[in-house]
Structure 1
Amino acid sequence: MATPNVSFEVFPPRNVDAAFNLWDTAQALAPLAPRFFSVTYGAGGTTRDLSHDAAHVLRRTSGLPVAAHLTCVGASRAETLEVADSFAEIGVTDIVALRGDPENGADTFTPHPEGFADSCELIEALAAKGKFNIRIGAYPDSHPEAADMDANVQWLKRKFEAGADEAITQFFFEPESFLRFRDACAAAGIDKPITPGILPILSWKSARKFAIRCGTTIPAWVDEAFDAAVRDDRHDLLATAMCTELCDTLICEGVENLHFYTLNKAELTRNVCRALGVTPEVAVRDVA
């Protein structure tokens, strides 16, 4: 089995304890030589300053590439591009460009009156600056607002045509979800890299709730397996085995890059990476 390249997503801390969790997570995972750390934006851009600060500190302390999330929500075009430029000023030129979730728990996305109408407009504006590597989101189980899978794939194609360089998918539970999606994208003429997003399940209750919200298919066997694992106090064992098997199958199908949603907890992600052969890089001293 080939050893994959990995990257990790973290979210900005809102208090001192959360800050320690984030830095501990980064310190534990940085030795695995990730392609990048991505730092999320809160719903409605609510953590804009926190995201900026977290990206800055991660970049400065780890020396690794950092990809900052940027959304269309709650800001004018000028304000959004000002945030992008502020990231570039601190050496963060990788952007994950997203539409963003509706504000204040609304059912539908409403653009800011002077803002970007959708992610394609944001991507075009970022690409025009000529200084960003632009990543985007993709949905292997189809976006909840897409009419069907074809519409889902065509929208992704539009985002690539707008100037995106790579897509990172929403998480999924079965490798077939990603493999079918990858085939559909190739058939539609998409030739840019699509990296599967992997969620090591720290809490089945929380993961299930989030899966429903973002339209991720929940196979019956996964529900049943976690119900039994929680009852028998072996949740983490199942989560590690299931995540490792998912990644192993993807690698065997030619996937080279994996992006892990860490939820600012390193242990389960690190265990899965070790099982896949991703181990800390250790500098060898010349003792001669």
Structure 2
Amino acid sequence: MNFSVRQMTEAARALDAPLYADVGGDVEVSFEFSPPKTDKAEATLWESIETLAPLSPRFLSVTYGAGGSTRDRTHATVARIARETTVPAAAHLTCVEATRDEIDAVAEEYWAAGVRHIVALRGDPPAGAQDYAPHPGGYENAAALVEGLRRLHPFEISVAAYPECHPSSANLAADLDNLRRKLDAGANRAITQFFFEPDTFFRYRDAAAAAGIDAEIVPGVMPVGSFAGIRRMAAMCGTDVPGWLDRLFEGLDDKPAARQLVAATVAAELCRKLYAGGVKQFHFYTMNKAELSFAICHLLGVRSAGRAAAEAA
């Protein structure tokens, strides 16, 4: 791990002082949501957005279902964020089961709705398919999608990164080569898949730097709302679930309040250690619920714009 003197000083402060002392004022956050399927889910989503938007996030991103299955709902959600909030909206877009013309048309709809940020992804294989295969006439992969978006409009573009290697990559070197292709095609930054130990990110950051990648790499943080759900998602994307995490959540399945406290503590500690290693940007996978992400941000010193202004006065 290549720590600078400043980072070592910050790491010492994190150990010597109360855990979250002196953290504040220089952390930037962003939040990810999924398009709602029901009226009740939509109400929950907008309550979460209204809770988190005052924290002045860099952007609010909205996922895109396999094969464009949530196309209309994703568009409606990002368009409403762009229309009704002051926070930039970021729309996910994938290559799966669509031609280039179809994907370009979706991107044009986003641009017309005021959306200027795309999270460009290859996408997972459609249901029932074992491996990913490009659609005939479609974009081959995320790098090609980034290149295509760059031809359409001056979008801000984020792409995915995998600290524990994408399941379809032969090895880390091949995975980093793919990340470089996406950035060379015009992506502005990479957002990582979730992980649970800070060294996982630090090793990846060092490996990326050694491979000549100097773009911003933002850690993706997944607070554990449901441990069974986390296990399922981790198995799909190759994320290691350490044994200590199993032990911490054991016996909490029917104790949601206690589980929330443990989840917030675990994720906040991860963020604090990342901060000690020089990380100042965090992307939270909210699962459309605000409480955990809000609590973690609060511990990191992130306050609502109104409150921050009042405290400064």
The 2-side partners of 1:237 and 1:223 are apart by 15
TM-score by length of 1: 0.95
Q: Percent identity?
A: 46
Q: Equivalent residue for 1:258? A: 282
Q: Equivalent residue for 1:25? A: 48
The 2-side partners of 1:198 and 1:162 are apart by 26
Check the 8 A contact 1:44/1:104 in 2, yes or no: no
Q: Equivalent residue for 1:133? A: 156
Check the 8 A contact 1:9/1:37 in 2, yes or no: yes
Amino acid at match of 1:279: R
Q: Equivalent residue for 2:219? A: 196
Which residue of the other structure, out of 74, 85, 96, is the alignment partner of 1:73? Answer: 96
CA RMSD of aligned residues (A): 1.5
Which residue of the other structure, out of 175, 183, 203, is the alignment partner of 1:160? Answer: 183
How many equivalent residue pairs?
A: 285
Alpha-carbon shift at residue 84 of structure 1 (Å): 0.4
Check the 8 A contact 1:229/1:238 in 2, yes or no: no
The 2-side partners of 1:58 and 1:205 are apart by 31
Q: Equivalent residue for 1:276? A: 300
1:30-56 CA-to-partner distances (Å, cap 9, x unmatched) read: 010000000100122100111001000
Q: Equivalent residue for 1:240? A: 264
Q: Which runs of 5+ in 1 are unaligned?
A: none
Q: Which runs of 5+ in 2 are unaligned?
A: 1-22
Q: Does the C-alpha gap of structure 1 residues 130 and 208 become closer, same or farther in structure 2, counting only changes over 3 Å? A: same
Q: Equivalent residue for 1:249? A: 273
1:84-127 CA-to-partner distances (Å, cap 9, x unmatched) read: 01101111010000001111231111211111111111111111
Q: Equivalent residue for 1:37? A: 60
Alpha-carbon shift at residue 128 of structure 1 (Å): 2.2
Q: Equivalent residue for 1:61? A: 84
Amino acid at match of 2:110: F
The 2-side partners of 1:150 and 1:110 are apart by 22
Alpha-carbon shift at residue 129 of structure 1 (Å): 2.6
Q: Map 1:35-114 to 2 at 5 A.
A: 35-114=58-137
TM-score by length of 2: 0.88
The 2-side partners of 1:209 and 1:19 are apart by 24
The 2-side partners of 1:228 and 1:15 are apart by 31
Q: Equivalent residue for 1:206? A: 229
Check the 8 A contact 1:141/1:177 in 2, yes or no: yes
1:54-107 CA-to-partner distances (Å, cap 9, x unmatched) read: 000011111210110000011110110111011011110100000011112311
The 1-side partners of 2:34 and 2:192 are apart by 17
Q: Equivalent residue for 2:10? A: none
The 1-side partners of 2:306 and 2:116 are apart by 27
Alpha-carbon shift at residue 187 of structure 1 (Å): 0.4
